[in-house]
Amino acid sequence: MQRAAVSTVSRDDAKTVCDVHARKSISSTRKDDFLLAEIIGFSSGFFAIVSLACIEARLTLAALFFAWILFPVLTGIGIMMGFILARTRPIFFQIVKFGMVGGFNTMLELSIINVLIVIFDAATGILFVLFKTASFIVAAGSAYFWNRNWTFVSRTRASFQEFGVFIVSGFWGFLINISTATFLVSVVPAPDGMPTVLWVNYSVLIAVLVGMVWNFLFQRFILFRD
């Protein structure tokens, strides 16, 4: 009887220790997620300010500071919502993180395009296609890094095969993205009174949203399904 009691106590103690370690692990993971979300937020705010400066938005320093602070506030709220939604379906947390990464890469891509427009003083035609291509390549590399290591936390070792599949999916995403943006810029006229450079930015945003749907579905259910 004593041995049975000791054995039961030992199992209970072991379970308690495991539960404590599990809670600590979850707490640590949440802190890491929150920190990464804030890094994404502050970086997104910085790239947004770069774009605003390039399109010569007439904003005061206070407004620019608010724009910079707004992004980390939104990502902080977003990650907290992700924690709550994950209690019902873990995929919701992935969607939240994917959206943050997408927002970050959108700001990154827009800043690159706007800087190139300012440097070369051109916002349409073949130069725009080249600008969009360059910015897309940089944003795609950033997306692969963040989504593999943070959004989907792939447990498989990175390989040339996986990267090759990512390149193929990225190529299709590239076609969807750049085709949408080019169509809007070259075929759809800008609304009356809207500067061309502003319409370019709206077109890029729409193209990014269309491409994000494809990218999430492919990466979640095929590339990083583990």
**Could you list the pLDDT tens digit for every one of the 226 residues in the chain?**
545 544 554 555 544 433 433 344 445 678 899 999 999 999 999 999 998 888 876 667 777 778 788 999 999 999 999 999 989 888 889 989 999 998 999 899 999 999 999 899 887 788 888 998 899 889 888 988 898 889 888 777 766 777 778 778 878 887 888 899 889 988 888 888 888 888 888 898 899 888 888 888 888 888 777 6
d(CA 102, CA 212): 7
The token pair that represents 106 in the structure block: 């959108």
Query: For residue 194, what pLDDT is reported?
Result: 84
The single-letter code of the amino acid at 107 is: M
Query: For residue 6, what pLDDT is reported?
Result: 46
pTM over 0.85? The answer is no
Query: For residue 163, what pLDDT is reported?
Result: 72
How far, CA to CA in Å, does 99 sit from each of 37, 82, 126, 162?
11, 11, 30, 22
The token pair that represents 33 in the structure block: 């997620």
pLDDT digits (tens, 9 = 90+) for 6-24: 455 455 554 443 343 334 4
d(CA 145, CA 163): 11
Among positive and negative, which fits the CA dihedral 148, 150, 151, 152? positive
Query: For residue 158, what pLDDT is reported?
Result: 66
Query: For residue 129, what pLDDT is reported?
Result: 87
Cβ-based neighbour number of residue 91 at 10 Å: 12
d(CA 223, CA 163): 9
Q: Name, in order, each residue with C-beta under 8 angstroms of 56's C-beta and a sequence gap of 6 or more.
A: none
